[in-house]
Structure formats: structure tokens, C-alpha cells
Amino acid sequence: MDMERRADTPIAAGRQPANLWRKALDAIRACNRLGHVVRRSTSYTAITIHHHDGHSDADADSWYPAAAAAAADVDGGSLKRLLKEMDEECFRRLGGGAGVAAKLASHPERGIAGDADDVRRRKADFGVNACPKPEFKSFFGHVRDALSDVFLIALLVCSAVSLGVGIKEHGLKDGWYDGASLFLAVFLVSSLTAVCSHRQARRADKLASESADTVVTVVRAARRQEVSTFDVVVGDVVILRSGDAVPADGVLLHGHGLRVDEPHPGPVEIQAERNPFLASGVKVLDGHGSMLVTAVGTDTSLGEALRSHTDPHPATLQERLEGHTSTVGKVADAVAAVAFTVLTARHFTGCGTGMMPLLDKGVALAATLMLTLSMKPVVMDNALVHRLSALETMASVTAICADKTGTLTLNQMSVAEFWVGAEQPSSATAIAGGVVNLLRQGAGLNTTGSVYMPDNASPPEISGSPTEKALLSWAVACLGMDAATLRRSFSVLEVEAFDSHRKHSRAVIRDNANGVVLAHWKGAADVVLAGCSMYVDTRGDARELGVEQRNMLEKVSNDMGARGLRCIAFACKQVHRTEPSEIDDEAGLTLLGLVGLHDPCRPEVKAATEACTRAGVAVKMVTGDNIPTACAAANGCGIMSSDDSNGVVIEGPEFVGMPPARQLEMVDKLRVMARSRSGDKQVLVERLKQKGHVVAVTTGEGTSDARALGAADVVLYMRAPGARVAGSVRDIIILKGRFDAVVAAIRMGRCVYNNFQKMVQFYLTVNVVAIVVNFVPAVTTGDTPLTTEQLLWVNIVIGALSALAVATDKPSDALMDSPPVARTAPLVSNAMWRDLAAQAAFQVAVLLALQYRGRDVLGTDAKAMVFNVYVLCQVFNKFNTREMEKKNAFAGVLTSSSTMFLVFIAGMLVLQVVMVEVLGRLAGAERLGLGQWGICVAMAAVSWPVAMAAKFIPVTSPCRSSSHANALC
């Protein structure tokens, strides 16, 4: 078998560019062919002739000279209807993908002309690839929404009535205080709510804009280039790979094994001849291909859906919080009803207004304030959170399934080692020319990547997957490959892209000079070697691949893997017939060479995985590499260690082939899944979830993760600015290219959860005490010591500052020394109920003693002191709730991380002084003397030793089984 192509074989010279008359004639013919489909608005056709100096006849024969006329006259509505109705008969009648491309002045292989004028014209004619954002609501719009709350409207009515009655009974000078204070409360609630909502809306809009601006690969003027999704235009040829989201509506031009995840009915196979339609937003599950864009922006199916779709997605913590507030609110309503009945019987009407402490409004405002500030550190710390629920989920994550390439590694592959036969040549000059030519073919034609040479002086522009880019770069730099000459010399009959199941790619090519047909294989060394019966040496001699030589080559491959190199093998065979039976036969291959690719680990990965392990979060590597390569990378990343005797390393097919019961037994100990195929990671995620884990999937390039992303509880995407996002999933945290942001997301998730608990404990204490302290005197003496204005002050103003004090506490490293939060753990833990009961009992006892015996003991009206002690107890109790498990309430309070906490505590105290001493008439409280202030502070300070004593009482909390996952209760 002659495996060598003679080095002196002349390359067929391209024909000279056609003259201008021929160009004009071709353009006129192209326009006339459109006449029966497209209606003309004029009786003539304007032709613009462009002369492309130095280009081949492919340029001369292109239809770019007719781009302006064709694009201007295309009936865009018919193309939109073609896709919307998915009419295959109409598609075939228009000439298939090539025919539709012609009508859009595009080319199935070369794409659109792509110059600035062409892109601008297409955007003007067909629109831009962006859905119009809903009109951004102004600050006053948020104020209007806040004031539309039914409860606030009722409160406004009450304040108006109170103002009118007060002025009538007490005159203007003394009768306006109660009504004005209610108006002030409504103003504070609506203003603070509007400010927080406006800030959240702006941040959400910014995140949405940044995440939507991803990058896709398009072909323009025969050149692959990456552009923003917003710059994709009708007529563009878009390259699709597994893991991509389809950026616009279109039809498939070429593809192999392309399957997309349609919402209904699910995974669908897309073919150029049958069912070629692709809708914007669907995920590519498998395969690769190129599509022609036929509709963008609001004209797409996704754009139409977005115009009529709303996606209310309240965070789970907020839903759980609403449950608590609703329960306590109902209790308050019931108590208020009883008190009002008793007061009515005593002929005291109107005293029941102080019974309802506005729990719902205060908690909602505090939660909004806290979450708004809690999100900011995550945005600054190399991560973007799309939904708060994703951050909340991170507090409960117990397992992370991490893709190796692009997640644990830098995704910057390069060829580190090269073998031909049993030799390691120093350069291409040490290899026979025939072997070099075959290697050029294997690298340059058996690929989905491309090489573009702008000119002789500029470096080549190489596109494709990281593996393809590394091999193409090596072929150009080390083998002297000229991609343009190579493609002129050979016709590519078929390309079967790399598949995670087969672990190899294949191309069938024909030598244009002598008609010889070759099939090239490229892929995992062990897979390709299994089909080889011959190999070539550096002199170009073909030799039989015996047992000894095979063992030697397998040792070379294993040695590369042990050093963390991905070993790729090149092989080929001559094909006498192009029938599928002969092409698909993987036997009888001749090995051309072995290449070792190096992809260094991210420098921050090892420390990050060690931090995850300490926090009870298991990091599991999932990779397509063989076991030696995967283990070397896992050791370098800190996922495995030499003393890890219980760790399991297994290949994906072996794991998936096991019975589910055996998979469940193994899944906790699994450290590395090698030789992972598309779908294997999904099975791993599902088994982990069945075992009780909360699973995050961390993906880099995302080429085989589309299924696993949908199965995960949360997705962590290693996205550098401008990189493409793998499909749409429920909850995404974008790590902005750094794996240690995983640790930051876990820490912040736990911090947010703890902050919610602190806030809930604060409000439960405030309102339980208020209900009891007002109810008991109301039914015994007909008096309510805490007025509506005072309760509004505590719930809204003091509560808002309390939430800010909590939210500005920086996440401590101590959060990573505890196991994860159990997803099913109650928001109010047993420890919280213990502390709440102790504080509530203490405060109720002190306040009722002041109410009943204050005048006798202190010789003054105790109402002002009841209000003051009540507020000061809540302020001082903030120190107790900072560290719910620590007995020392002041631990770490003087560190730099607590500066803002102390600032807000000081702000609460200052505002309370102003409320009592300056705005006492509005609050219904008299001014206090210095001695009375001292008594109030002393009484409130007793809350500290009470909290410390309560924490000596042991409590138990329900935990998840440690055999399932480490979980914090």
C-alpha cells in the first residue's frame, strides 16, 4: 500500500479570477433566479461589482457581488414563517440550506461577506439579535409599587382618620402627632422599600446584560471568528458544538450526530435533509454542525416567548421566611382580636391599634436590604450569581462534580511530546517527508477547527476546541503545515467529529492529484492503537505492529498519562471504496505518531479543593482522559493523595454499566471518573442526589456536560469574560475563570443562610415580646404600653439597621470549618428557639415589671422607659445573635471585619436617643433623664449574661445521616 504522497506532486494551480463581465453576468443570473420567489419594488436591478485581487476562483464565483441587492430584496417574513411553521416541503422547495443561504446573500461554507456595511445593512433589514428589555422602572415607579400595598393603603387611611380625629379633639397644635407619625411610618416603609427594590433591579439588569453577552463562532468571508451573540445577523453561518446554546433561529447546513434538548418533547436529532430547524435558546447535547441564521432577536421563537413570559422565582429562603412571618402574623392578629374584644367590653375603643406590629412589612424590608448587600461581595469576588437560590443552594452543597479541562486546568493546551514509532524526533526535519505530509493531513483535515492566514507577515488565526487549537498550532509551527495549500490539494469527503463515546474523530479525504482516498483517525491513544496493525518509523518505512512494539507504544502512552499528558494518536489507511462498511472499519490502521498534550492545573485549584474538603464538600473529577492521566491531574489538584486508600477511580462506562445499587455503594468514595462519555456525568449526579447529596456541577468548556447541567442542583460555570455559556439552566454561578471562587460561593452561601437565621431570630424576638407585653396589660388594665408608632419604629427603622448590621458582616473563614447546611434543616433551629425563649422570657419579665410597678419604684411614668428598654434590649441582643453558637457575645467584635457592624449598632443607639429626646411627641414617649437612661441601659445589658447562660443548655438538632453526606444542622 502506497501510504506516501510524493513531495514533488504539483499542486493544481487555481484558475485566474474571472473578468468583470463574467462577474456581472453571474450576479445578474443570481438575481434573476430569485425573481419567481421575491417581489421587486423596482423594474431594474442595481449591481455592484467588487474585484478581489489575489483571491482564488472560489472568490470570483461567489455571490458576494449580489449581496446588497439580494439582502435588500429578501422577503424576511417568508423566512420567519418557514422556521416558525417548520415546513420541510417549503424548505426543500427553496433549495434546502444552500438555497435559503443564496436568498440571504450568504454561502453555506463561506458565510456572509461580513464587512461593516454588510453587517450594518443586515441589522437594519432584519433586526438585531437582542430582545428588547422591559422598560427599566424608575425610582418613583418603585415608590408607586410600594405604596400600592393593601396594608400600607389601609395604614394611610387610618393615619388620615387619626389626624382628623386628633385635630378635632385636641386642636391643631396637639392633635396632629398620632396621624403624622403614621404618615411618617408609611413614608419610611415605602421609601426604604423603593430604594432597595431599585438597587436590586439595577443589579439584576446589569447581571442579565453581562451574562447574555456571550461569544459564538461564525464564518464570515470564509474566516472563522468569534463575535458577540448581539452581533449575530441573519445569514450568518454559526458553528455549533456540544454544550452550546443556539444563539438564534435557523436551519442546519451541515452536521454530524447533532442532538438538541427541545423543551418538548425532549432530545431531538437535527439533520440537514430532515428536520433541519433549530430554535433560539435550545441546548446542543451531542454532535457538531453549522447552522444558517434565519431570524434574530424578537423574531425568534425564544424572543416571542420572552415577550409573553414572566418567571417569578422567589428564593427558597424568602419563601420559608414568609411561612414564619405568616404564622407569627396570624398569631398577632388573633391576639389583637382578643385584646380588641376585651377593650371594647371595657369601653376602650381604638386601643387595639397598637397590637399589630407590622411584622410582614418589617421582615420583608429587612430581608430585601440584607440580600441586596449580601450579593455585592459575591459579585466583587470573581463570581456572578444569577439567582439568589443558587447562592442559597451553595450553603448545602456536599459534592462538586468538576470537569477537568477548563475547570481544574487552565484549558491552555500545548504539545509537549511527540513520538513516531519508537523514536522521539527532535524536529520535523528528522522525519521522512511522506510521514510529515500524512501528519499534516491528519492534523489539518481531520478537524473541526480552522487556520486562517491574514497575510504572510501576521501570525495564523486558529480556532476550534482547545485540543484542536493545540494540534493545529503544532502542525503549523513544527510540521510547517500550510492550511490553504492543504485544502486545495485534498477534497474532504467526510468528517466525523470527536465523539465522547468513540473517543476519536475521523476524516475521509481524496488526493486531488492522483485520486487516492485516505481515511484518517485521530483520538485517544489506547482507542486508536487497538485498531492499528502497522506503524511507520521516522524513515517512512511501514512496519508490522507486533506484540513487543505494541507494548512499547502502550508504555509510552502510559508514561505520558502518568506525567499528566493527554496522549493523542494519529493513524490512517488507504480506502479503495468510499462505502460506509469500509470507511467505518477501524481495523488495519497504520499508526503515524503519538502526541502528548499538556494542560497545566490552575494554580489556585489545590488550595481550593483542600478548603472544600475541610468544609465537608467532596470534589470529584470527571474527565475524558484515561485513568493514568486523570490520576496525575487529580493528584496535582489535591483531589487525590497517596494515602487515600479508600478513594475510587473508575472509568465512566464501567460505572454506568454497574447495577444502581452498586453505584450507590460506590458513589461516596468515588474520586475520579475517567473516560467519561456524554451522559456518564449525568448518571453520577443522579446517584449522588439519590444518596442524599446536594450536587454542584462545575464545567469549563461544557462540551459534554449539557445533560449533567440539567440534573445538578446548581451549576458553577468557569467563564472568563466573553466566553460562551453552556445552555440555560435553573441556577448559575459564574466563577469568572477562577476555581477558588467556588470556595467564595460556598462561604457566602453559608453566610447568607446564617444572616437569614439571625434576622429571623431578631424579628421573632421583637414581635413575640411585643405581642405578650401589649396583650397582658390590654386584657388586665385596658392599657397597651407599646403604641403603633413605637412598634413601627422598632420593626422598620431599628429592624432595617439590624439587617444592615448583619449583612455587612464579612464571611469568616470559620464558616468553612463546618459541614454543609442540611437542605431539610429548619430555618429556625432548636438552638435559635432556645435563645429566643430565653431572651423573650427575660424581656417580657422586665417590661411587664416596668409597666405594673415602674411608677411605684421609679416614681415616674414608666411608659417611656418601657419603650426605651424594649428597643435597647433588641440592640444589645444583636451581639448575642452575631455568633449563635459561641458563648462569648463579644468574640471578634473589635476586629476590622466588624467595623460596619459597630457603626450600625451606634446608628441604632443614636437614632433611639433622637426618637426619645427630640421626637418624643411623635413616638408617644416622654423625655428621660440621665439617671433613667442609665437604668434603661443597665436593664437591657442583662440580656448579655442571660444569653450566655442560655447557651449552656444543650439542644439537639435533626441531622442528615453522615453516611449520606456531612451536613450542618
In a domain, 897, yes or no: yes
Q: Which H or E run contains 295?
A: strand 283-295
Given a contact cutoff of 8 angstroms between Cβ atoms, the answer to whether 947 and 889 are in contact is yes
Q: Find all residues with CB under 8 Å of 665, minimum gap 6, and list them.
A: none
612, 705: one domain? yes
C-alpha 622/C-alpha 601 separation (Å) is: 14
Would you state the pLDDT for residue 206?
67
Would you state the pLDDT for residue 860?
64
The neighbouring-strand residues paired with 968 are: 821
Report residue 197's pLDDT band, with 50, 70 and 90 as the boundaries: confident
Q: Which H or E run contains 684?
A: helix 680-690
What torsion, rounded to 10 degrees, do the Cα atoms 755, 757, 760, 761 define?
-110
Would you state the pLDDT for residue 51?
35
Q: Which range of residues forms the domain containing residue 83?
A: 79-127+232-309
C-alpha 603/C-alpha 607 separation (Å) is: 9
In a domain, 23, yes or no: no
373, 424: one domain? no
**What CATH code is carried by the domain that includes residue 844?**
1.20.1110.10
777, 872: one domain? yes
In this predicted model, what pLDDT tens digit does every residue of 3-62 receive, in sequence order? 443 333 322 333 333 444 344 444 334 333 333 322 333 333 333 333 333 334 444 344
Report residue 865's pLDDT band, with 50, 70 and 90 as the boundaries: confident
353, 500: one domain? no
What torsion, rounded to 10 degrees, do the Cα atoms 482, 487, 489, 491 define?
160
293, 191: one domain? no
513, 606: one domain? no
Pairwise pLDDT comparison (69 vs 523), residue with the higher score? 523
Provide mean pLDDT across the span 782-803.
Answer: 78
In a domain, 473, yes or no: yes
400, 432: one domain? no
803, 939: one domain? yes
Would you state the pLDDT for residue 397?
92
Q: Kindly report the three-state secondary structure assignment for every residue of 68-95.
A: HHHHHHCCHHHHHHHHHHCCHHHHHHCC
C-alpha 770/C-alpha 908 separation (Å) is: 19
Asked if 311 is an active-site residue, the reply is: no
C-alpha 188/C-alpha 404 separation (Å) is: 51
In a domain, 651, yes or no: yes
* Grid cell of 433 as nine digits: 517527508
Which of 726, 715, 698, 722 lies closest to 210 in space, CA to CA? 722
In a domain, 250, yes or no: yes
Q: Which H or E run contains 206?
A: helix 177-212
845, 756: one domain? yes
Pairwise pLDDT comparison (646 vs 935), residue with the higher score? 935
Last residue of a domain, one of 703, 735, 767: 735
Q: Which H or E run contains 196?
A: helix 177-212
C-alpha 394/C-alpha 24 separation (Å) is: 63
The neighbouring-strand residues paired with 590 are: 534, 572
In this predicted model, what pLDDT tens digit does every residue of 684-738 receive, in sequence order? 999 999 998 999 998 765 445 667 777 888 888 776 443 444 444 446 676 777 8
Given a contact cutoff of 8 angstroms between Cβ atoms, the answer to whether 625 and 648 are in contact is no
Q: Rounded to two decimals, what is the model's pTM?
A: 0.72
Given a contact cutoff of 8 angstroms between Cβ atoms, the answer to whether 731 and 439 are in contact is no
The neighbouring-strand residues paired with 400 are: 619, 696
In a domain, 922, yes or no: yes
Owner of C-alpha cell 485498531: 531
What Rg do the C-alpha atoms of the chain give, in angstroms? 36
Long-range contact pairs involving 95-101 (C-beta distance under 8 Å, separation at least 24): 96/272, 96/273, 96/276, 97/251, 97/252, 97/253, 97/272, 97/276, 97/292, 98/253, 100/251, 100/292, 100/294, 101/235, 101/237, 101/253, 101/292
**What CATH code is carried by the domain that includes residue 401?**
3.40.50.1000
Range scoring the smallest mean pLDDT among 211-225, 323-337, 386-400, 754-768:
323-337
In a domain, 898, yes or no: yes
Residue 766: is its pLDDT beyond 90? Answer: no
Would you state the pLDDT for residue 178?
65
| Catalytic site residue from 249, 403, 680, 705 | 403
**What CATH code is carried by the domain that includes residue 508?**
3.40.1110.10
In a domain, 833, yes or no: yes
Mean pLDDT of the chain: 76
776, 884: one domain? yes
Angle between helices 830-858 and 930-941 (to 10 degrees): 150
Q: Based on the structure, what is the number of domains in the chain? A: 5
* Grid cell of 193 as nine digits: 422599600
Q: Kindly report the three-state secondary structure assignment for every residue of 321-386.
A: HHHHHHHHHHHHHHHHHHHHHHHHHCCCCCHHHHCCCCHHHHHHHHHHHHHHHHHHHHHHCCCEEC
**What CATH code is carried by the domain that includes residue 250?**
2.70.150.10
